[in-house]
Amino acid sequence: MDRATTGGRGLRKWVPVEFVLGLGLVLVATILANAIPAKHAVIEDWPYPFRFSIDATWGGVGMMIGTGIGGLLLLLAVGAIPLGRFKRWKTKWRIAIPAILAACALVAALPPLATQAFPETYRKTPVPFDAISIANGVTLFAANCVLCHGPQAKGNGVLAKTFPIPPVDLLTEPHTAKHTAGDFFHWLTHGIPGTGMPAFSDKLSEEDRWDIVNFLHATSRGYQARLINPYVAPGQPYMAPQNFSYSAHDGTSGTLKDFRRAKAVLLVLFSWPESQSRLDQLRSAYATLRDNNTIVLASPLKDPAPQELATITTAMPFPLVVQGAQEIAHSYALFRRTLSNPDLAGEGTSPKHMEFLIDRYGYLRARWIPSVDGPGWTDIAELTRQIELLNREKEIRPPPDDHVH
Ligand code: HEC
Question: Which of these, 339, 120, 313, lies nearest to 229 by C-alpha position?
Answer: 339
Contact in structure between 218 and 176 (CB atoms under 8 Å): no
The pLDDT value given to residue 296: 98
- Cβ < 6 Å from ligand 1: which residues? 141, 144-145, 147-149, 159, 163, 165, 167-168, 175, 179, 184, 187-188, 192, 195-198, 200, 212
What is the distance in A from the centroid of ligand 1 to the CA of 301? Answer: 30
Contact in structure between 277 and 247 (CB atoms under 8 Å): no
The pLDDT value given to residue 37: 61
Q: Which atom of ligand 1 is nearest to the CA of 215?
A: 35
Question: Which of these, 339, 333, 375, 384, lies nearest to 354 by C-alpha position?
Answer: 333
The pLDDT value given to residue 15: 61
Best of 118, 149, 152, 187 to mutate for ligand 1, by most ligand atoms within 8 A of CB?
A: 149
The pLDDT value given to residue 311: 96
pLDDT, averaged per 10 consecutive residues of the chain (405 residues), comes to 48 61 65 60 80 88 93 95 93 93 94 92 95 98 98 96 95 92 97 95 98 98 97 96 98 97 97 97 97 98 95 95 98 97 93 98 98 96 98 95 94
The pLDDT value given to residue 21: 63
What is the distance in A from the centroid of ligand 1 to the CA of 157? Answer: 11
The pLDDT value given to residue 226: 96
The pLDDT value given to residue 6: 47
How far apart, in Å, are the Cα atoms of 306 and each of 274, 303, 352? 17, 9, 20
Q: What are phi and psi of 242, to 5 degrees?
A: -70, 150
Q: Return the ∠ at Cα 401 (arms to 400 and 405), rounded to 5°.
A: 130
Nearest residue (by CA) to ligand 1, atom 14, is 167
Dihedral angle over CA of 98, 104, 109, 115, nearest 10: 130
Q: What are phi and psi of 318, to 5 degrees?
A: -120, 160
